[in-house]
Amino acid sequence: MIQMEDMALKGVLDNFNARIMSLYKEIIGWMKYYIQLDDMVCELEGTE
């Protein structure tokens, strides 16, 4: 990610949008995973 930022600041934007979208999709996937994990933990804590 930092490399991509540096390249963008230097004006090198080859495939920048595609690369950012790929990272965005991965981040969204991890975010959904952790939201589900948090929901599960909250459910388990509520049943103790």
Assess if residue 1 is contained within a domain. no
Assess if residue 21 is contained within a domain. yes
Question: What confidence score (pLDDT) does residue 9 get?
Answer: 83
Structure confidence at residue 48 as a pLDDT band (50, 70, 90):
very low
Instruction: Give the span between the Cα atoms of 21 and 48, in whole angstroms.
Output: 41
Q: What is the pTM of this model?
A: 0.64
Assess if residue 30 is contained within a domain. yes
Assess if residue 9 is contained within a domain. no
Assess if residue 43 is contained within a domain. yes
Quick check: 3 and 9 in contact, CB under 8 A?
A: no
Instruction: Give the span between the Cα atoms of 16 and 4, in whole angstroms.
Output: 8
Query: What backbone torsions phi and psi does residue 30 show, to the nearest 5 degrees?
Result: -65, -40
How crowded is residue 29: how many other Cβ atoms within 10 Å of its Cβ?
10
Query: pLDDT for 8-45, tens place per residue?
Result: 888 887 888 888 899 999 999 999 999 999 999 999 98
Task: Work out how many domains the chain is built from and give that number.
Answer: 1
Range of the domain at 47: 15-48
Question: What confidence score (pLDDT) does residue 38 get?
Answer: 94
| CB < 8 Å & 24+ apart, contacts of 37-44 | none
